[in-house]
Structure formats: C-alpha cells, structure tokens
Structure 1
Amino acid sequence: MAQANQYDSHEPGEHPKVFVSYTHDSEQHREAVLAFADFLMRHGIDVVLDRWATDRRRDWQAWMTRSITESDYVLVIASEGYRRMGDGTGPNHLNLGGQSEAALLRDLLQGDRATWTAKLLPVLLRGHGKEEIPKFLQPNAADRYEVPANTPEAAESLLRVLTRQPRDVPPQLGPRVVLPPRSMS
C-alpha cells in the first residue's frame, strides 16, 4: 500500500499555505510580487510574505526558515537577481536575504528531493522567462508556472497545483478485457 505524504493531506476547501521567495531586484519587481501575493490571498491561498511581517523586529533567518518549512509550498519568483543568488553567482555583499533563502532551498532539496521537488514551485510573472529560474530548480526538466496576469485564468496551472484540482483526471478503470485466442492450432 502506498504511504501518504504530508502533501496529500489537503482536503478540498482548505487554504494551502505558501511562502513567497523572491529577491528585491527593483521597486517595480517588489510591487509586482506584492500584487501577486495579494491576488493569491484574494483567491484562497494563505500567503507568507516578508512585507507583511514587519510589525516588529525579527530574526529574519529564523522567520524565513520556520516559514519555509511550515508552508505547504514555496513559490520561487523567478528574476535575474534570484537566478544569480540561486546559482551562487551573485555578489556576496548584495541581497543577503535572497542568498539565505536560496541556500536553504538548495539544502532542503538536496536532503529530500522527492518532497521538495513537489514543494518548490518556480513562478514566472509577466516579463520574466525560464532563463531566470535558478539551475537547482531544473528550469528545463521540471514544471514551472507562468502567470502573465493576476487573474484566475492566467494563473490556472499554478492555482490547480496549489489547490490540488487537476485539470484532467483519468476515467474510472474498467474491467480487464478478455481476448479469445486467434487460432486453435
């Protein structure tokens, strides 16, 4: 019997919890991520976003680690800055939060590939391409989620994964076909 994992526990109607991982490439990018997070919240996705956690002084490393490991999914928002941090080619003195998040995600993926491949979802917002997805997230060999606009139609593939509502489902398995022999020689 197949063992159920923690990601199969969502029942329809529950609100999946997602951590949004992104780099602060520009004010325009930060605003696009904020608008995307707001869109998700308005459509039943419980979003953890750093910009919504500024009510007090925090140990951001501990907050990020706890938030990532307690979330059902981590949405990695692709950008040039995130690719550099994720691939380890960015300047060491810049985007320290992005470097920490990417390092933790690489380590979690390395430690349990099956679990974290399903949890780490690369997202391409409008104006971004697959070349901005860090190599450790397999931009060419694994799924990625393009969200060209903050609408349910434009985000359908991502929303279906987050809410476990597949677009296509297999039909019910019928009885095994019985085929008579072709010859009685």
Structure 2
Amino acid sequence: MLKADAPERVFISYSHDDEVHKARVLDLANRLREDGVDAVIDQYEESPEQGWPRWMEHQIREADFVLVVGSKLYHDRFLGDGKDGVGLGGKWEGGILTQHLYESDMKTKGYVPIIFEEEDVGFIPMPLRPFTRYLIDGEAGYEKIYRRITNQPKSVKPQLGQRRELSTPEVKSGGTIYIGGPIDPELWDKAKWRATFFMAGEGSSAPRLGLGFRNREAAEKIFQNWKERYGENDEDEELRVSIIEGEIEGEEAGYSVHVGSEWKTTYKKLSRKSRMDEADLMMSISRIDRMNPPANSPGLPWFKEAVRQSKVYYIVAGILSEDRASIEELGAIEIRKSWIYFRNVDEIGKHDPDVIVLGTGAVERGAAD
C-alpha cells in the first residue's frame, strides 16, 4: 500500500528472453527510478540472502504496481511449459501472480501488462488480457505507463455541474431494431464468397485465413470497408470468425466457416451511441461458407495449430480462378486478429451466435455459378 509522500514502488516481472530484451527491461527500470519511481528488477540483485523465491514473493507483495512484460518465453513459463529445471524464476513468478490474482478475486488494479512489440500482445498472460495494456515503444508509450503509475491522467475530470431539467418525451410504443455488422449483403452477393483457404505467413509472420471470392472489385471493396471500420488490427475484436466442425443434417462432411459480428462488442458500441432498452432488438447479418475437403485434409488442423502457437492470424482476400483450380491472394489487404472460435456442432446451443450454421443443410442450393 502506497504511503503518503512515499515514492510509488514498482516490481517488473519478466523473462530473460535474450540480451536485448533484458536491456529493454533494465532501461525501463532505470528510467522510472530517475523519474522518482522506486522500480525493482532482479538485475539489481546478485544473490538475495533469503533466496530468489522469497525475494520475488516479497517484491510482488510490497509493490504498488507489478509490471508484467509479455513475451513468448514469459508466456510459456507463466503456464509452466518448458523443460524441468529451466526458467524456474519465470515459473515461480507465474505461480505467485496467479495465486495473488485468485485471492484478489481478479481485482487487477496493481497488475499492469506491458509489451515492447505490438506482435507480443498475444503473449500477455490470459488473466491480464481483458485489461489495459501498455506498449513501451518510445517516449509516448513511456509517458502513458508513467502517468498510470504516478496517477497523473492526461485528461482531468471536470467538477460535477448542476443537473438540467429537460422535457419528458413521449413513450414510444414499440422497440427499435438495430441492424449492423460486418456484412453488406448486396456487396457480398456481388463478391460471391465460394471458398476458404489457409496459408503460412512469410518468415515469422502469423498464419493467414483466406476468403476466396469470384469478383475482384467487390472483394477489394469488402476488405477496404473492414479496414476503415475496424482498422488493420481489429483491436476491439468486432469481427467474429468461427470454424465449426461436425456433421450437419443435409450437408456433406466437412466444416463451416462463419463470419459475422462479435455481439457483445457491437452491443457496447450501440449502447454508447444511443439509449437501448429492453424493447429494442439488435440484429446482425452474417455469412457462412461450407467446406468439404477430402478426408484427412491437413489444411484446417495445420491452421488450428499455427494459430495456437502464434496467438494471432490474418484474414485475407483471394480471387478464385474461372476453373476454381487456383486462388490469387490480394496483396496488402489483410486484417490482423487474435480471436477465432474453433468449435464442434455438439457444443452449439439454441441461443448460440453460431446456431444459424446448424440450419444450412435445410437450405435449397441453387445451381453453381
């Protein structure tokens, strides 16, 4: 607990990925100390008298803030993965942090996730992912975390004014229907989504989930609209993608790819823009592609494992050739995402966002275009 007139005490929890990573952590700790924050890291200690486990427990318990540096090595050791006897410090800190979060009923006021590279966002420990993260990639990033630690918000809340009296509007007789989502029906009808494909990224890039269209102009317009609406990274995870395996009555063996909107995120945004009440309805349009690969096809299993390892993936557009024998990926049109739902038909209930997938087998199919 911070005492009056005492400097904020900060403990930085991280893993020794490499010398560059250690140097970044050391620079951050040194900078904080220069700016009046009592920052502590293990690099300041040679060999604590009480031993490393008790030293770490003491630092976490006494700190006002614990900065948790997300990286692949830290994430693996937080989960306890890796060889026995290797990375014990990271594993021990992970266990201590998990226990503190459990006992605090997930009140994470003092635990702050930070990263040095945007691509490391997927390596932030799962209990801290719902909360504000800080990218320390320059002066602006440092100022943000420094403001958080020292309780110096950039915007000051004004004093509460006097309530205004407004006239009471007439009570509406019926609810409002809000229709939205990532699908423009007319544009998607023109684009003709007819395939889904998986690709490996270049170098260390994340795997790619491709939507194969017949119409180039309409496909480009769909992804341009998405990038304008969600950005290149879809940080709010408004775009919902699910892949559902299992048998569906009336469908050939395979899996379904369902693209729509993340209902909870959409509801929050609508609620901020207008008052929604219990009489209002929210509707979202989505699209489904049913894939029927040969038995033991490696595409989907490979993609699931690639996403599990990278924690992120890209949605890209592709154009099917006239004979449907090949697909051309549209360059520079991609959306980076972290969330994807890999599911089975058996786990989809009556009010599930993917329940519409279960009824596709009853739809009469038109002639192939």
**TM-score scaled to structure 2, two decimals?**
0.43
Aligned to 2:143: 156
Is the contact made by 1:81 and 1:90 (CA closer than 8 Å) also made in structure 2? no
Residue 56 of structure 1, CA deviation:
5.4
Aligned to 1:171: 158
Aligned to 1:3: none
| Identical-residue share of aligned pairs (%) | 32
- The separation in 2 between residues aligned to 1:49 and 1:136, in whole angstroms, is 22
Query: Within 5 A, what are the aligned runs for 1:93-132?
Result: 93-115=85-107, 117-126=108-117, 129-132=120-123
Residue 70 of structure 1, CA deviation:
0.4
Structure with a larger share of its residues in strand = 2
- The separation in 2 between residues aligned to 1:155 and 1:97, in whole angstroms, is 26
> Gapped runs of 5+ residues in structure 2?
170-369
Cα RMSD (Å): 2.3
* Matched residue SS, 1:154: helix
Structure 1 residues 174, 156: closer, same or farther in 2, change over 3 A? Answer: same
Is the contact made by 1:74 and 1:121 (CA closer than 8 Å) also made in structure 2? yes
- The separation in 1 between residues aligned to 2:118 and 2:166, in whole angstroms, is 55
Aligned to 1:18: 10
Aligned to 2:317: none
Aligned to 2:219: none
Aligned to 1:135: 126
- The separation in 2 between residues aligned to 1:155 and 1:178, in whole angstroms, is 44
Tell me which of the two structures has the higher relative contact order, counting C-alpha pairs closer than 8 angstroms and 6 or more residues apart: 1
Residue 126 of structure 1, CA deviation:
4.1
- The separation in 2 between residues aligned to 1:57 and 1:175, in whole angstroms, is 59
Is 1:71 the counterpart of 2:78? The answer is no
Is 1:45 the counterpart of 2:37? The answer is yes
- The separation in 2 between residues aligned to 1:165 and 1:25, in whole angstroms, is 32
Is the contact made by 1:87 and 1:136 (CA closer than 8 Å) also made in structure 2? no
Which one has a bigger Cα radius of gyration? 2
User: What amino acid sits opposite 2:88 in the alignment?
Assistant: L
- The separation in 1 between residues aligned to 2:17 and 2:44, in whole angstroms, is 18
Given candidates 53, 58, 64, the residue that maps to 1:61 is 53
Residue 92 of structure 1, CA deviation:
3.2
- The separation in 2 between residues aligned to 1:72 and 1:14, in whole angstroms, is 11
Corresponding residue pairs, total: 170
Residue 179 of structure 1, CA deviation:
3.6
Is the contact made by 1:78 and 1:133 (CA closer than 8 Å) also made in structure 2? yes
Given candidates 80, 83, 86, the residue that maps to 2:75 is 83
Structure 1 residues 58, 161: closer, same or farther in 2, change over 3 A? Answer: same
Moved over 6 A (4+): none
Residue by residue, what CA displacement relative to the aligned partner does 1:85-126 show, whole Å, maximum 9, x if unpaired? 1233333331001000011001100111354x1111111124
Given candidates 133, 148, 154, the residue that maps to 1:144 is 133
Residue 14 of structure 1, CA deviation:
4.4
Is the contact made by 2:115 and 2:135 (CA closer than 8 Å) also made in structure 1? yes
User: What amino acid sits opposite 2:159 in the alignment?
Assistant: Q
Question: Is 80-89 or 50-59 further displaced after alignment?
Answer: 50-59
